Amino acid sequence: MFGAFDISASALSAQKMRLDTISSNIANVDASDAGTDGAGNAVPYRRLVTIFQPQQMGDGRMGVGVKRIEEDPSQFVQKYEPWSRLANSKGFVNYPNVDLFVENANALEATRAYESNVTAIETTKSMLNATLRVLA
């Protein structure tokens, strides 16, 4: 029964990492000058995505873990701003490939998954307590 705690705890940890990644994306939604490339041109923030994988627990059970955090390869959003110092020769500025609606939906999904795992832990704890009451 204690393995159920470990499995839910691994999922809590993975969802926390996912929420941290989503928070980073939301915080950098307007970061059009997050760094520079080899030629000295401004490079916008690139959206990050958390990739999960099954993870072997110490007692042979499977849980979930973060495999890696990778950059989203989708195109940057271009806005016509010829007055900007970051504009290219055609007057367009690249902005991050972060969509607030997608990030909010992902955050809601991760929060619900987190809550589900907390509920699983509470249910497991209640079952354990009921078992101990029966045995005592």
3-state secondary structure of 10: helix
| Torsion sign, CA atoms 114, 119, 125, 131 | negative
Return d(Cα 127, Cα 8) in angstroms, integer: 15
pLDDT of residue 46: 95
Residue 50: strand, helix, or coil: strand
**pLDDT averaged per 10 residues in sequence order, the chain, 136 residues:** 82 96 96 80 92 87 93 95 91 94 97 95 92 87
